[in-house]
Structure 1
Amino acid sequence: MSDAPLHRLYLHYSELPYSLRVLYTAVLLVLGVAYLFAGIYLFYTYSGKDGNPLTLSYEDVVIAYSGSGKDSRLESALRGAMRTMLPAEEITPIITWVREGADRARYEQAIKPMLDKRCLTCHDGSNPHLANLNGYDNLRKVTERDTGAGVFTLVRVSHIHFFGISFVFFILGTIFSHAYVRPVWFKCAVVALPFISLTLDISSWYFTKLYHPFAWVVIISGVVMALSFAYMWVVSMYQLWFSPTPIVVIRRQGGDTPPVG
């Protein structure tokens, strides 16, 4: 551990008023639950694209951004994120219909009633961010070969992720900045890593469409972000309420108990 002197503007959690510490704790709890739900949603969205819904694999990431190269978008969705929206006895005939050429006569007779019942509540064309399954002509577009997420879809999702996740880690990093962690360079690295990982992650979405091994960058960047979040969350929560005040902070206070409020 480094004995680097405390910065004159640094305040440890023990020097903060209780009202601010309670605020930080509430924010940490909400962010922690939100990150957990985000992880569950991420797994649910991307797992199963390779045929195994129990794992989130390299192949799942490749298919998500570059496409399967053989299956249609409709098949990939029915095997992945949408697999729980229809019973298995309805998914199989839809996939068979797609692979046999997706003819209009069979669509009108057998496929349309299933889609009208199961899918059109969300996929009726009213939401521009969801595939339109309303009518044969619209459905034909998603029975073509799966090429992964479109560039403009990635652009839309990219700016949402950049803004949203940056704010999350700015808030978490601000709270974590009050933690006593040495050496200082390690603390700075932990604060910076999520932003570097976020940039690499989102950039690699596009590169994966061109060169599949960039999917590993997506995976590793996501893991690094999660580990950084977990470390800052645990250290902040522990030092907020459970750890003793560091000796160097006590010395700076002259041994006095800090005021509360």
Structure 2
Amino acid sequence: MMHLKEETLFRSDQWPIIDADCKKDQVIVLLKGKGENIVQLNGQKIFTGPTGHWKIRFTQEHFCLLNHTTLSFYTLTGELIFECEVGNDIFELFPYRQGVLCIYGDEGVFGKKLGKNRLNYAAPFQHTESYYDIAVQNQLVYDALFARYKPYTCLSFGMDSNQLFFLDAQLKRERTIELPFYTGNIIAYALTYEFGVFLEENRLLLWQFETTGQVSEYPGEFTYNTRAIFSRHEYLFMTVSEEKVQVFKPILNSWLATSRDHDDY
């Protein structure tokens, strides 16, 4: 038997929640105020600014906000320290090194300065780096999904492949495993040192990839606002709605309840 252990980290009765992130015992939330955007850290307001922000992420030492094509980095007290242009159609921001990886929703042109638009790295006080070659090598097309695991993995979305790539700290491929199920419908996934947990809209797949290779399937309802937070929090996944920020993990006997990755940034 399996059940989901859930916890509400933040609830808003006044302002709609736009986005949120968490790391260990910290929760940062982007709110839609009346004619402004508001950022709260652990329930305390640290930033008020113009509307248009739509993503917020912790970095190693700061947090960042995405507003249209501009990515801005702030101290945890809300002071602006750096901003840069990162282009259109960003699908996700994934914490990486001192900043974030910008993962894009298409293969369009980023601009004359940085070339094609698949995968770029942005961090405070650095020039934005294009990881185009890595994206092509690993077939990271459209909404590639990342998860931290020794230290990173990603799913390939190539038309002729169904693979899980294990990457080193420089995002170089170390090994590849063929997945025993179709990954095109995966919303989010997380890996422990023994198991992989993969979420689709109406089911959860548990894959014992390091041991028996067995795949177990469980019914569930998961939204596209769900993403993996594994290795940054005791829970595996986070979901954000306009009213609350929740985290959850599957509990299946004692081994999955206690097995988790202890790596930090």
Shorter-chain TM-score: what band? under 0.3
Which protein has the bigger helix share?
1
TM-score (norm 1): 0.22
Which protein has the bigger strand share?
2
